[in-house]
Structure 1
Amino acid sequence: MTPALEANADGLIGPTHSYAGLSPGNLASSLNKGEASNPRAAVLQGLDKMKTLADLGLPQYVLPPHERPDIPFLRTLGFTGSDAAVLERAWKEAPGFAAAACSASPMWAANAATVTPSADAADGRVHFTPANLHTNLHRSLEHQQTKRALDALFPDPTRFAVHDALPAVAHLADEGAANHVRLCAEHGAPGVNLLVWGREAFEPWADAFPARQTHEASQAIARRHQAGRPVFPRQSRAAIAGGTFHNDVVCVGALDTLFFHELAFEDTTGTRAAIRAAADGLFEPQFVEVSLADLPLADAISSYLFNSMLVQIPGEDRLTLICPTETRDNPRSHAVAQSLAASNGPIGAVRYVDVRQSMRNGGGPACLRLRVVLTGAEQAATNPAMRLTDALHARLSTWANRWYRESLRPADLADPQLLAESRGALDELCTILDLGTGFYPFQRG
């Protein structure tokens, strides 16, 4: 076994962070639709959360925001003229498409890709498949730029394989790592990959909220990544109906421990058995299940207890759960969290981080990060300019304070000055993160 650590690559929240309510099934997104957001506070909260992880000794990387508004997308719809004219006309004639083109949703890097570490891949490389995010228009615009970001962070093809997204069709709808959990004895040892799905490709679906991941998409990624020991649990239909649009709203895992809500899986007994069978000879899984009686689904969703980060801090024997402050503020979820820390189980501590701006759009600490298990040699092969240090944190904080607005309402997304501000911010960011020339479409003329 080659020693490895679990790194986090967080999405840097973009200048157009707003509450436009674009995501059906995401209750927080719908609840806060139309309210004023604070992009500056949002990006600084995200940066501070990254620094918390880096200060704990975990490798932490930064993924850049996408170009928003997405003028090239609007041009494919027939809008012409200057970029400002395209934006103005799109908001007048096709406001739904204009809103999608302005979304800062790439901040939620848990949806950026599915990752298979080298210990699980037959060719010994780390594999990435950007999610096509086919279910929602605003998110379906992301995967090509996500691939460019992953190529920039993981540039060595002898160690990393960054694939294209799966075909963008409903039958292969893929939501990335938000529906993926890896269990193992040690990060550098072979593990078991849970690839959770909500519906079959050809299954009729008439429920109010969409099932965003298909079984066939999960299977295709496992084949593409040559991933050993995959398990394919079905997401609970009751959980989807209740507003758990991704499995990471009701489930998180790390090392040999799976922490989940009673309603996480359609067949909990079968899921446990399948994990045990896949882990046979590698490790003995530990299951920490929270009952519906202890935490009603509505409280699980509003508190985002399970959308916390379950991490192994170097030098500590037990896992740490890094929760949003909303978990602490909800009496039921707080009681569950405190009972975990007081127990003799695998989760020994709970910490809280403030990501309220993201939470108001339905994204907790786990939504903001893509987990990537890396050996020392693989860490050395990443782009060093994208790894968070104290100096980079300070530089990005200064950058954000210079470029980001304090307040933004959805109507402000039509402001051509915001387009200019966003592009100015991204231009400077390319220098800070050593992304090269032409990283964004607007830089290519």
Structure 2
Amino acid sequence: MPLREINFDGIVGPSHNYAGLSLGNLASTRNARQVSQPRAAALEGVEKMRANLQLGLAQGIFLPHPRPDRDWLARLGTTIEQADDALAANAMSASAMWAANAATVSPAPDTGDGTCHLTVANLRTMPHRSHEWQATLAQLQVAFADRAAFTVHGPVPGVFGDEGAANHMRLCASHGESGVEVFVYGRTGGAFPARQHIEACKAIARFHQLDPERTIFAEQSPQAIEAGAFHNDVVAVANERVLFAHEQAFADRDAVVAGCERLVPGFELVEVSAADVPIADAVTSYLFNAQLVSPPDGEMTLIVPSEARETPSVWAWLQRHLSGNGPIRKVEVVDVRQSMANGGGPACLRLRVLADPATVDPRFMVDAAKLDRIAAVIEAHWPQTIGNDGLRDPALVETIERARLALLNELDLAQLA
């Protein structure tokens, strides 16, 4: 089969809660200590995947991580029963659901050895995410075990921050052709940390054997970081020859555009001005943290959260674009409110992998019937609500661990337990 873009969505884990752990993520901070709804959140994610299948897209999954992370707590000399509130919250985080931070992916047409390369993200900036990479790497090694098709790398050394595909874009004439890879790094963001370091970007480009002449390193705008765009995918997204971005996304916008125009046949910039959509509205609505996809019908489609429809400046811009002759021909709205309340939109929930689906372990690929099975496990086992005051409750911990094991067993992936 030819190469296809596969969207791998993270299934929202049964420990999904609002601990407000992500400095610089305004939604996470704003909703700290609210009561979460893990079951509703996971079912929202399943429905998003179902909508992707209905568009004719290939769909995969990643599984929730072990929570609480007992191994991490043991390395800190404690247990979930004995940990203080802060450590318990960090050990219970379900943030691995945001698969855009799982890894950086360079497909076979771009790499020197003709395999698809994946480098697991170290996520070293935030304590609650810094211990994700081991469980993510274990899944990547199983899902992409075909060594003729994939090369899976461990993380960049933790001294340099790497947050995966959320700070990486690929542009090309069409998915199966050689592309241009754009790595976006940060330097500063006022009171907020820049999570992606240029040293990590350059290391990944070397791991993936990318052509230096077809690789762009772009600095994210400090104003964007300060406004709450903690990852590039909050202010920009690319698909095939189209770059959809806010005008304040990059520190040197003109250099990024010039590089893309020079290297990408038929390159088209779809830029949203601050006058039309203030960056605060872009961040609140997650207009750019959307999935920009190419369905089989050929009409490029933007999959946005319902918050985009509810933000007047954003919805007005989208309607104007659709009424014109721009490259984005359709907009689909999905409800991922539980994820949005914790700071992750539709793009956060998925990792794009260009590959022949037949080379992926089939246990990580889904169709409508498998989504029905996943939903049934969620309905039966996921907690309905979690309040942050009860994160160490033994009954809740047991429920969360049993729920994850039930899903692994249903998908014949108990080896990841």
Q: Name the TM tier (shorter chain).
A: over 0.9
Alignment of 1:374-413 (within 5 A): 374=355, 378-413=356-391
Match of 2:76 in 1: 77
Cα shift at 1:418: 1.8
Which has the larger displacement, 339-348 or 253-262? 339-348
CA distance change for structure 1 residues 271 and 206 in 2, over 3 Å: closer, same or farther? closer
The match for 1:232 is: 217
Match of 1:352 in 2: 333
* Equivalent position amino acid for 1:356 in 2: R
* Identity among equivalent pairs (%): 48
DSSP 3-state at the match of 1:88: coil
1:140 and 1:3 map into 2 onto residues whose CA distance is 36
Per the alignment, residue 215 of structure 1 pairs with: 198
- The CA distance in 1 between the partners of 2:189 and 2:237, in whole Å, is 28
Q: 1:117 maps to what in 2? A: 107
- Matched with 1:242 is 227
SS of 1:146's equivalent? Answer: helix
Unmatched segments (≥5 aa) in structure 1: 80-85, 200-204, 441-445
Q: Distance in 1 between the 2:291 and 2:77 partners?
A: 43
Aligned to 1:126: 116
Secondary structure class of the residue paired with 2:219: coil
User: Residue type of the partner of 1:36?
Assistant: V
Corresponding residue of 1:96: 86
Amino acid across the alignment from 1:225: H
Gaps of 5+ in 2: none
Partner in structure 1 of residue 401 of structure 2: 423
Query: Any runs of at least 4 consecutive aligned residues in structure 1 with deviations exceeding 6 A, and if so which?
Result: none
Q: Which position in structure 1 is the counterpart of 2:14?
A: 15
Determine the structure 1 residue equivalent to 2:305. 324
2:290 to 308, 327, 352: 308
- Alpha-carbon distance, 1:206 to partner: 8.0
Shift of 1:436: 4.2
1:337 partner SS:
helix
Question: 1:293 corresponds to which letter in structure 2?
Answer: A
- Find the counterpart in structure 1 of residue 49 from structure 2: 50
Query: How far apart are 1:276 and its partner, in Å?
Result: 2.1
Aligned equivalent of 1:271, options 243, 249, 256: 256
Which residue is 1:260 aligned to?
A: 245
Asked if residue 335 in structure 1 is aligned to residue 328 in structure 2, the reply is: no
5 Å-filtered alignment, 1:165-244, equals 165-169=155-159, 172-199=160-187, 207-228=190-211, 229-244=214-229
The answer to whether the 8 Å contact 2:189/2:224 transfers is: no
Q: Match for 1:213: what amino acid?
A: Q
What is the RMSD computed on CA atoms of the aligned residues? 1.2
- Cα distance in 2 for partners of 1:225, 1:185 equals 20
CA distance in structure 1 between the partners assigned to 2:210 and 2:42 by the alignment? 34
Contact 2:383/2:400 (CA < 8 Å) preserved in 1? Answer: no
- 1:87 is aligned to 80
Q: What residue identity is the alignment partner of 1:13?
A: V
Deviation at 1:183, TM superposition (A): 0.6
Distance 1:35 1:343 in 2: 41
Give the C-alpha shift of residue 111 in structure 1: 0.4
Partner Cα separation in structure 2 for residue 259 and residue 406 of structure 1:
37
User: Is the Cα–Cα contact under 8 Å of residues 5 and 188 in structure 1 kept in the other structure?
Assistant: yes
Range 95-104 or range 35-44, more displaced:
95-104
Distance in 2, Cα, partners of 1:208 & 1:341: 37
Q: Residues 260 and 426 of structure 1: is their aligned pair in 2 closer, same or farther, counting only changes over 3 Å?
A: same
For normalisation by structure 1, the TM-score amounts to 0.91
Q: Hey, what's the Cα distance between the residues in 1 that align with 2:210 and 2:45?
A: 31
**Which amino acid in 2 is paired with 1:174?**
D
Deviations 1:261-309 (A, max 9, x none): 0110001111111222333xxx121001100000001100111000010
Q: CA deviation at 1:212?
A: 0.5
Query: Which of 131, 138, 148 is the aligned partner of 2:138?
Result: 148
Aligned partners of 1:432, 1:384: CA distance in 2, in Å? 14
The residue number in structure 2 matching 1:30 is 29
Structure 2: how far apart are the matches of 1:311 and 1:133?
Answer: 26
Counterpart AA for 1:127: H
Residue type of the alignment partner of 1:353 = V
CA shift, 1:357, in A, is 0.2
Q: Is the 1:10–1:50 contact (alpha carbons within 8 Å) kept by the matching residues of 2?
A: yes
**Retained in 1: the 8 A contact 2:189–2:223?**
no
For residues 411 and 325 of structure 2, the distance between their equivalents in structure 1, rounded to whole angstroms, comes to: 42
Q: TM-score, normalised by structure 2?
A: 0.97
